[in-house]
Structures are given as structure tokens and as C-alpha cells.
Structure 1
Amino acid sequence: MCGILGYSGDFEKEKLNKGLEKIAHRGPDGQGTFFHNETALGHRRLSIIDLSENAKQPFEILDRYVVIFNGEIYNYLELKKELATEGFIFKSNSDTEVLIYAYVKWGKNFVLKLNGMWAFAIYNKNDGSLFLSRDRLGKKPLFYSLSKKGIIFCSEMKGIYPFLEKVSINYAVAKNALNNSFGYESTENCLINDILRFPAGTNATYRDNELKFEKYWDPEKIKIQVPENYEKQKEIFRELFLDACKIRMRSDVAIGTALSGGLDSSSVICTMSHVSKINDKVSHTQKDWQHAFVASFPGTSLDETKYAKTVTDHLNIQAHFLNIDPLKDLDSIFYKTYLFEELFYAPVIPFVQLYENIKRHNITVSIDGHGADELFGGYPFDMNAALVDSLPSMRCFNQVLQAINNTEGSAVNNDRKNKLKYAMLNKYPVLQHFSKHLSLIPKKEQFDFLNSTLFQSSFKTILPTLLRNYDRYSMMNSVEIRMPFLDHRIVEFAFSIPYTSKIRNGFGKAIVRDALADLMPQSIAYRKAKIGFNAPMHSWMNQELKSWIGDLIHSTDFNNSTLINKKKVFDSLNTIVSQKEINFMQGSKLFEQLIPVIWEKSLSYAR
């Protein structure tokens, strides 16, 4: 895991080092640069696999190819063995060297052989071309700026800032982001003018001032053959997940996990424990993995520490509980927002503090549970689509409704009449003529209604945004996140099984629970209500943050903001702050209205 920056064209060399300084948090363990003709490559290193100088980047082979690479190739040992049989000789134990030799051997389509996360650039000294690639799901970020002068690319927008004439807000994108925080990450559009986002699942070649894209992985076409029998599906998922965890435990540094006590993070750490007991000398799994980090919100409804402790007690390992302190980072909230770069409705403090604590304990890799909700139906609003699939069977409809209400913590038959109407209007188009208020699911021909909805969450809205967010939360603290649920084999499997494998017996994510239940406490595997990692803004605003917010809405920064209706926001915030008690919805809404002011102020660090 690292930070990369490069250019090809008529640019000033000294700006490369300025850009690398701006992304130093992504790689505190070293810096390297390479210059050749009008091409420059820069790298900030976070050492994880092969800590020696043999693995430093930029990495050059055959006096022809030079690579800079951010990410991890988890199946590098298998690929290395395959390449060695072809006569390739390696000087390091790094996945970087395997990656570049794989390119030499198999050409640009070698990325289809990779299991991992990546954003990299390979420069060909012979013809001056650049080959760029980003992983299937876009776990690793990559931005670029294209002009008559050439191309600049980087892991974060801020690394490109020194090359721009000015850093200015793209107001059209910013307005969209404020209306829908999940609406723009899957597009090329960025919040800063003259910077674009490199698409996920895509390769590109830059030559003669022309950038040509080629999509190598299309989520519209990822269905695979899966047995219809649920028991066999469970076996396949379990095998895939165990292997996904095992290869993500490959590391030359200690690893840990961010544990909430929910199903997803518990599945990860319990599987890590199970895998660690298997005597497999060739897998290169890290033995120092027993580090669980739990964000604690004492005295609030969002505190899940008792569930996390149930898991760590079950595994007989120590947990590190971190009491999130909103006052601790208020002085640096503008700088941390600058590091975060994006407009998002939630505050960065709780998430940043968690990974800051992980790093403080000398853990550089965190294996986390992201992705299960989007792939397997963990959000009640996504699960609603399965109500449509369940018709015409009322028995199946009732089972899905039960699962939704269990997840929400509602009564079993809560909102049954409206849910049935919603399902029937989507299932039977002829009924749509009799309703003025339609909420239709954009169904894809190759998927059922649930998977069509999960497709949007996984590839268009929620998951791309969360992947971006957690990359920033962790990497501003020099911590790498690995996500076994997002192994591409599991993603393809998830979109090849029907809704009945995801929602059954009163639970969402059923196949995850049923396949892994024997590895964890039953109270966790079949825990019904979902909380999630959210900040209890209402509790904080009733106490610590109230005066800080009052100061902010009377500040020059607030008055100078160009992203808000100042009078409307001031009146709204003033009304809420003046109340004795603030509820959860009010607290969330209040801070959401402040985000544009905080973000715009953070840009002062860009200049």
C-alpha cells in the first residue's frame, strides 16, 4: 500500500516532489522518483510485503519497464510460482516485482489473473507509453488531469494540486455531492476543476498525448454458474471466504481488524482465527493477527462494545477499546477534512480516530468486513426489493418482511400494507396505471429484483463511496485496509445466487450467517438488529460540540462559504442548537449542514 504520482509531458520536475509531499501520509517509509525524457514517476512507500530495499519503487526491470504501484496482489505467491516455471528470476520477495513480470509475460490482460486491489502505472522506456490500471471495484483510488501539456496522475487529488494553475471548486459536482453524498464517486467527476477520476475495472494506455481506456471487468457480466442447492452454495461461499481471508493475511507486518461486533467484522476475525490454526507453511500468512480494535461510544445507543467483547472473549484474544472523543480533533478537523478531500454527510473524526489508534499500536494492516451489506442484502432499504421477488407467494413475502423488520428492530408486520403495495406495483406493471406515486426498481434483465438493487448499491452508490472513505480514513494514518468480502470471486458469486440465498428464515445476509455460524458465537451470527458504525452526533451536540458549533456559525468561514444558503442554514442550526435536547435525526442533520463550510475551509491547505 502506497501513494503514487506521475506525469508524462511538459511539466516542471520540482512539482513532482511537491506533490509527493502532499501524499506523504500514504507512505511514510520511503520515497522514490524516476525521470526519463518527459516522464516522471514518484512513489511514497508503506512497507508491508518484503520490507527490504529490494522492493522499493519505482521498480525497474529489463532496462525497459518501470512501475509504480499502490495496493496489494494477494495471489502473488501463486503467480510467482507460475512465472518461475517460465524462467523468470526474481530479486525480491515483493508482489510489485511479480506484477511487472506478469505484465511482461501476459500483456495487459494479465490483470484478470490478479486477486487484489491496485492502482498502478507501467512506463515503457522504449516507446514512451504509459499503461495504467485500477482494480475491479476501485478499492484503490486513482485521479488524473489531462491537458495539452500532458497527463498527471496520482492516488489523491492533492498530489495533482501543485501542477494546476489554481485549485478551484467544481460547483456542479459539489452541488450534486451535497444533494446526494453517494451520487458521484462512481463517475469520473471530481470536486476540483481539471481533475478526473480514473474508472474502476479499467486499463488505459497513454501515448502521444492520447489516453485510451479499455474496460477489462464489467459488473454487468459477472454471473457465474452456481448450484441451485442452497447447501452446496453455502459450501462454495465458505471455501471462498476462508481462502479470501487466508491470502489477505499475507504480510510481513502485524495485522489487526476493526471490530464492531456485528456479523461482518465478526465473520472476518473469527475466520482469521480459524485460518491461523491450519498448518500451511506455504501460504505465508501472518501469525501476529490477534489485534481487535473497537470504536466505543459510551452511554449512547450506537455503542456496540458488548457485542465486540462477546467475539473477543470467544476467541480468547485482547480487544483494544477506543472511546471516540469528538473534542480531541476539533482543532484539526479542517486539516483532516483536507486530507479526506471529499464531501460526505458524516464527520471524519470517529473513523479517523479509530485508524489512528490502530496505527498507534504499530498495526499497519487492518482486515475489515466492508462489502457484505451491499453484496448480500444487509440494508433494510435494499432488502425491500426482495419483497417483489417473493410474489406471488404470500408465505415468501411474509418471510422477507420479517427479515426486514428484524433488521430494523421493528414489529414483525410493521408497514405490511404499504410494503405489499410497493411489491405489487413493481412486480405487475399493469397495476402501475392505478398509482400516482411510483417507486420503481430499475431491474436488470440478468438479475432478480434484489440483485438489481444490490447492483446499484455495490457499483453505483454506497459501496464505491465507502471504499473511497475508508481508503482516506485509514491511509491518512498510514494503515492499509483489506476486505475479504470484496474478493472478486465472492463478488461474482454473490451476484449469481438468488434472493432466497440472501434473505431467509427471518435474516438478511443469510448465506454468510449459515456458512460461518460455527466459527463465531451464535448470538453474533444470528443477531437481528443492525446498528453500523455511525457517530452519535446528537449525544455530542447535547454536550461537547454545542459551543463549538455556535462559534462556527458566527465565524468568518461560515459567512464566506459559497456552498450554502447562509441565512437558511444559520436559522436552521440556530434553532436546533438553542434546544435543550437534540435527537439523533436533528444531530445528523445539523452536522450535515456544516459539512460544506468545513470542507470549503479545508481547501485553504491546498493552496
Structure 2
Amino acid sequence: MIQCVNFVSQSLNILSRNSEKLLVLAKNINTENFDIKVKGEYQAKGLKSGYNYKGTWWFCVWDKEKKTVKLIRDKHGYTSIFYLITDQTLYISEDIQSLLKIKKTTLNLKRIAALMIFYKTDEVTQTHFNEIHSLPAGYELIIQEKKLEIKRYWFPENTITKKYSNTNEYAEELYLIFENSVKKALDKSVKPASMLSGGLDSSSVVCVAANLLQKANKNLETYTHIPLFGNEYSTKSHRFGDETEHAKTVLQKYSNIKANWLKSEQISPIKGLEKYLEISAEIIHGASNAFWLYDLHLQAAINGHDLLLSGENGNGTISFDGIRSLLPWNHPFYSNMPLRRIKDKIYGPISHQLKSFLNIKEQVILDNYPHFLNKNIICELDLDEAYKSDHSTRSKVSSKAKMSTLIDLARVSRMPPGGVFAKHFGYSMADPTGSEDVIEYCFSLPNEAFFGTKGCTRNIARTMMKGRLPEKIRTELKFGLQSSDITARLLNKPHEVDDALMKITKNHTFNYLFDVKKLQNYWNLLKISDPKKANVGEVNSLLKSIMAGFFILKYE
């Protein structure tokens, strides 16, 4: 039974104790006299109205008489909430490092291994430590006597679908909601900044923010990561490795934007992994981005910003690409391409069902997925079954199901690290493409709203940003490739990779999880290969494995 609730900061200062009958801990609640309101609401309504708060927030209430704890957090924000229960005490923290000072706990090897194969696991509260848990966005934790319950309270996928005769109406409505989300994020900021990749989502955030700030006679700074060794390392026809020119078109449109171009030459990919781990205490899927993400956050902090905007959720909201095979048979796109209609409507679904029935697709993907785990570990930890289950839930049966997957992925693997970094560097983060209002509206859109008459995807964003976004970006069909020169950066300092592999491969736990010989052979081959032809997915897996090794050495 819980006897005490403590909020823990990095320095282990206890900010609140259970001195009153009703303890209230709160963070970033956008309302006055919060303690008084919550106390009354808790006693009368069980905090039901708390679910209506918007933005980035969390609060915890402990009723000492009823011995009940309720911990609730925002629907979808850059909030990181971790908890540990030990010695009849619930410890709550916004970072894992603080909780590790309370109690040393064992590593969650299954989660570490699973992350080498896919983005997330079904256990939404798991961290890399067995006794430390995370509370995801849209969830609440309730402890009553000896029962602990994690409940999801926000279900945007249940939003009723809108039906307009003109798809432009969706875009007009969504733009007003999106603009309002940007405005709310900027409201309390004195010196705002934004990530700017040059892609559709971050550029939309920057253009709307710059326009609003320009009217208020204020400026916006942007941070853009660019290649150090050129852009020739992206070899795929649908991607390009340097979005500098796209980002520059945004700067030309608004005179109140100051750009920061980050080549991050002072921090190597290997050093970046260590720096990232020092802050987050968790391994990330995109390990090849760790070095420049750390650098971007650091530079934003050095320049004194109090807000950093992003567009990380855009691919699940404003620039969602829908599911083409679910377009109506009479859609203009199919009228012009009858053979495509047959492929999407008949051949595709039959092929998918056959592969699922024969259990072919998942096994082929798993066998060919670039990872360096020991094969016996995959079976021993049931990762093959978890992988199949994970991919079967991504079945594109509806646009809402596909969108749910993307939002859930951001909820678990993108938003928490942002919260940890923001806390560490002392500013707030916000993503207007991932506000609850934007998410709920996008879930209300029919699948065909995401397509133009010629089958062009991401139609909502392209339509709503017409005249507001440079045409070079608005009409771009290719996607940018982050860390496109990652192989060249590694080969620029090969001794760092050699030293890292030498250290981590001596560790017993690392050898238990990873095929050390396969890992070393891959690196040796990469050193003599043409970096322009390297598979960026395989290189990322190499770095993710090294990051796992660093993590094990640091926290085992």
C-alpha cells in the first residue's frame, strides 16, 4: 500500500510531501488557483474535468484518507513522466536519472533487444529498466490499496468522420485549428525557436509561426541540420539528402526569421550517442540522428530560447498520406489509371491476405531486417512473435488505423525524449502538428480527403498551406533523408567506432544479446566500401547496437 508520494527532481529535492489530507502536485497547468480547483473537483467529480485541460501538463493527487493515488498527464505533449514504487512510496520524476538515484534497478533486456528490431513494444509503460515505468500520453495511473491500474482516457480515433462535398472545406477548417495551435504555443514565449528541416511539416510550422510573430513585431529563429560531407549520399530516387535549399525558400518568404545552420562538425556520431544517453537514459530508434539532435538542443539552449517548436507529428496529422487502395472506385485518379485501380483494388488485397495466411510476409521482413542480435536471443525472448504481432496491428484496414499507429509511435518514442531534453536544457517544447485539436480533427477526415484528384498524397497540408508556404516545398513529392552523410561522418573518425566496439564487445551482457562477430564484420566491410552506396538502415542499426552497448556499460 502506498504511504507516501514524492516528486523527485534531478537534484533529488522533494518539492512536495504528504503533509495534508489531499496532496496535489502539478506541472504546467494553464489555469489559475489550480490546487483549489483540483481539490474541489477531486472530491466531487473524481477529477473528470481534468481530462479537458489542453497543452503540456500533468498532475498527481493523493487522497490520504482513501489511500488512493491518481496520476494523470496530457493527451499528447512533450511531457516525460516516469515512476518507481519502492518501500511503500510512489516516486514521480520527469527524468529517469533521478529515479536511478533512489534505487538501482536491473536492465530490461527484452525491451533493449526489441528496440533493435522495431520502434516500440506493446508494453506502453516499459522503459529500459525493469522497475521504472513511463506514463504515456493520454493515459492515467490509479493506485487504490494494492491495485495498480493504467488506463487510457483519450481515444481520438473514435472521432466521428466528417463528410463534405468539397475537400477544400476540410483544409480551410484544419488551417484555422493548426494556426490556433501555433498561436497557443507562442503565447507565453519571449524568445521562440523552431526546428526547420525544409520538409512539409516543419516548414508549415515555421511559416505560420513567422507570420504570427511578424504581425506582433517579433522574430523567430530556426535550426536546420545540414550535411557536412555534401548531399550525394542519398541514392534513392524518392529521397534527397540535403534540404538546405528548401529551408532557404522559407527564409526568403519571411524577413523576421534568423537561421542557424548546424553541420555539427564538433560532435561525432559516436560522441553524440554518449551525450544523448547522459540526458535520456534510453536508446532511440534513430540512433544516427542522436548527434545532431543533441547539438540542436544544446545550441537552442546556449542562444537562450524559452520555446522550441517542431513538426514531428505531421506525418500522422496534417501531412498524413492516407491509403490509396481505399479510394472510391470512381475517384478521378483511378479514372485516369485503370490498371492502377486493378492493382490497388484486386491484386494488392489478395496478395496481402495470401501472404498473411501463409505467414510469409512477417517472416521475410524479420529475416531481412538489418539487426545484429543473436539469433537464439530472438527466439529466447519471443521477439519473432512480438515482431509479427507488431506488424499485424499495422494492417492498413483503414486510414484511422494507420493514423493511430503513427500517433501511437510518436506518443511512445518521440514525445518523451523531447520532454526530457526540454527539461534538461531549460525550455519548453511544442509541436502544433501534434496538438490534441489537430489530431482529433485529422481523425475526423475521410480517407479521400488526403488525396488530390491526380492521386497526389498529403493533399490536406498542400491545400491548406497554398499561398502560405513556398511552392518549392508545398509541391515537393520527394522526402528528405536525415543524416544522409552518416557513413561519411563515421569513416571520418573510424577509430571512434573501433574503440567503441572494443569496449562494448568485452561486456558479457552485450555478447549475450548481440552477434559480436557479425557486428564487427559489418563494420570492417563498411570501412572499405563506397560510403555513397551504404544502406542507411544498416548503418543506423550499427549505431543503435553501439548505443545499446554504451547503455549497458553505463547502467548495468
TM-score range, shorter chain: 0.7 to 0.9
Unaligned runs of 5+ in 1: 1-6, 23-30, 38-62, 81-89, 280-286, 402-412
Q: Shift of residue 578 of structure 1?
A: 3.1
Q: Does 1:273 align with 2:263?
A: no
User: How far does residue 477 in structure 1 lie from its aligned partner after superposition?
Assistant: 2.8
Give distance in 1, aligned partners of 2:303 and 2:327.
48
Counterpart of 1:363, as a letter, is H
- In the alignment, which residue of structure 1 is the partner of 2:503? 556
1:354 aligns with 2:296: yes
For the pair 1:491 / 2:422, whether they are aligned, the reply is no
Whether the 8 Å CA contact 2:205–2:310 is kept in 1: the answer is yes
CA distance in 1, matches of 2:447, 2:91: 44
Query: Which structure is richer in relative contact order (CA contacts within 8 A, separation 6 or more)?
Result: 2
1:108 Cα shift?
Answer: 1.3
Letter in 2 for 1:192: F
SS in 2 for 1:175: helix
Matches within 5 A, 1:139-158: 139-146=78-85, 149-158=88-97
TM-score (norm 1): 0.74
Distance in 2, matches of 1:388 and 1:263, equals: 23
Partners of 2:78 and 2:429 within 8 A in 1: no
Q: 1:342 aligned to 2:273?
A: no
What's the counterpart of residue 236 of structure 2? Answer: none
Q: CA deviation at 1:391?
A: 5.7
Q: 2:401 aligns with which of 452, 455, 461?
A: 452
Equivalent residue number for residue 370 of structure 1:
312
1:96 and 1:253 map into 2 onto residues whose CA distance is: 27
- What's the CA shift string for 1:283-321, capped at 9, x where partnerless? xxxx64421222222412422222111101210132121
Q: Which residue of 2 aligns with 1:232?
A: 169
**Is this contact kept in 2: 1:178–1:343, CA < 8 A?**
no
TM-score, length of structure 2 as denominator length = 0.80
Q: Find the counterpart in structure 2 of residue 163 from structure 1.
A: 102
Equivalent position to 1:201, from 138, 141, 151: 138
The change in CA–CA distance for 1:466 and 1:231 in structure 2 (over 3 A counts) is same
Q: Which residue of 2 aligns with 1:424?
A: 346
Q: CA deviation at 1:484?
A: 0.9
CA offset at residue 533 of structure 1?
A: 3.5
| Residues 1:246 and 2:183 aligned together | yes
C-alpha spacing 1:186/1:135, structure 2 compared with 1 (3 Å): farther
Could you say what secondary structure the match of 1:33 adopts? coil
Deviation at 1:363, TM superposition (A): 0.5
State the alpha-carbon separation in 2 of the partners of residues 492 and 254 from structure 1.
29
Aligned to 1:35: 17
Q: 1:116 aligns with which of 48, 55, 58?
A: 55
Flag structure 2 segments of 5+ consecutive residues without an equivalent: 233-240, 363-390
In structure 2, the residue corresponding to 1:291 is in which secondary structure? Answer: strand
- Asked if 2 retains the 8 angstrom alpha-carbon contact of 1:338 and 1:605, the reply is no
Q: 1:495 to 1:332 in 2, by over 3 A?
A: closer
Match of 1:518, as an amino acid?
A: G
Distance 1:352 1:397, change over 3 A: farther
Whichever residue aligns with residue 25 of structure 2, its letter is I
CA offset at residue 357 of structure 1?
0.9
Structure 1 residues 257 and 10: alpha-carbon distance in aligned structure 2, compared to 1, 3 A threshold: closer
Report the residue type matching 1:243 in the other structure: N
Contact map agreement 2:73 2:137 (CA 8 A) in 1: yes
Alpha carbons of 1:597 and 1:428: their partners in 2 closer, same or farther (altered >3 Å)? closer
Q: CA deviation at 1:427?
A: 4.5
Superposed, which structure 2 residues align to 1:98-137 within 5 Å?
107-124=46-63, 127=66, 129-137=68-76
Q: What residue in structure 2 maps to residue 295 of structure 1?
A: 225
Give the alignment partner of residue 547 of structure 2, picking from 575, 598, 606.
598
Instruction: Give the aligned partner of residue 541 of structure 1.
Output: 490
Equivalent residue letter for 2:304: N
Change (3 A) 1:434 1:576: closer
The CA distance in 2 between the partners of 1:326 and 1:424, in whole Å, is 53
Which amino acid in 2 is paired with 1:601?
Answer: F
The alpha carbon displacement at 1:359 in A equals 1.1
One-letter amino acid of the counterpart of residue 456, structure 1:
T
> C-alpha distance in 1, partners of 2:353/2:62?
58
The 1:443–1:582 alpha-carbon spacing in structure 2 relative to 1, beyond 3 Å, is: closer
CA distance in 2, matches of 1:377, 1:428: 28
The residue type paired with residue 473 of structure 2 is I
Please give the alpha-carbon distance, in whole angstroms, between the structure 1 residues aligned to 2:40 and 2:485: 49
